[in-house]
Structure 1
Amino acid sequence: MGSLDADTFRTLLRRQAATVTVVTAPGSPPAGFTATSFTSVSLRPPLVSFCLDRGSSSWPTLERAAHVGVHLLGEDQHEVARTFATSGIDRFAAHTGWRYGPHGVPLLDSPVAWLLCRVTERVTAGDHAIVLAEPLLGHYAHGAAPLLYHEGRYASVAPSAVVARQAA
């Protein structure tokens, strides 16, 4: 039995909803890209991961970066996600809402949450690299809803319904 072809694999995985993140790294120029592969890995010690195509324009910078910023985008940040997903542009010139943080890491304005991380390991996995990183600093916005990616479109979480319990 052979492996799934790339198009079928991509179609199947589009059924999974994922939070939209932008990963940034210091450099000249700085690098940044939109990712839906971000996840927590461990609580003790705290570790997160994300994946990046080793053929992407951001890879040379990420391959050398000692620190990165991970930004969980809010439901109103579609344009930020599109900007950092666009190839062939200066993503930081196109998106002006950012500043330099510790270790020279670009930090985006107003995400749902951000983490400043130290890269601990890079693992080659097919045409991608899995980057493991240790969060050093972080911040989150209270009550902010995340931006999701599902079926090839940006989406948001439906408001929670209040369910009343009846006394038995």
Structure 2
Amino acid sequence: MMEVALVMGSISDWPVVKQTAEMLESLGVSYDKHVISAHRMPEQLQTFGAQAKGEHYQVIIAAAGGAAHLPGMMAANTTLPVIGIPVQTKALNGVDSLLSMVQMPSGVPVATVAIGDAGAKNAAILAAQIIALHNDTVNQKLVQFRTNQTQEAIKSNDQLN
């Protein structure tokens, strides 16, 4: 049983989504990955979204650039929480992707993280936080992650001397 579905609109999104996968792995969260284009694979998108809960996913993370309809369309086809990662684009640096995700209409939410690398990592952390509500092992890994993060920040003071 996979806990998270990582869905990207194109294989070109993989370098960003790979960071999400790596963070999920470090937090002990299982996932699988899929390329499902909102524009080129609408039937597959609908089927995937409709069946995701039955496949025992707990969260869907959807990454897309440009018009970035994938997270919203995924959210329209499931009751699972959907986290959108705006992928940076050449034309508008990902702002177009971000705006496509954060302007969802009432009733079809997409939790949206930052554009690019920080967002890719934060999407994994957010998904882990959702899963940790009912999974003590993942919760402990999150606690350790936060402790390590704090220690690294404290140690960075040594570089000021």
Normalised by the length of structure 2, the TM-score is: 0.27
Higher strand share: 1
- Greater relative contact order (CA < 8 Å, ≥ 6 in sequence): 1
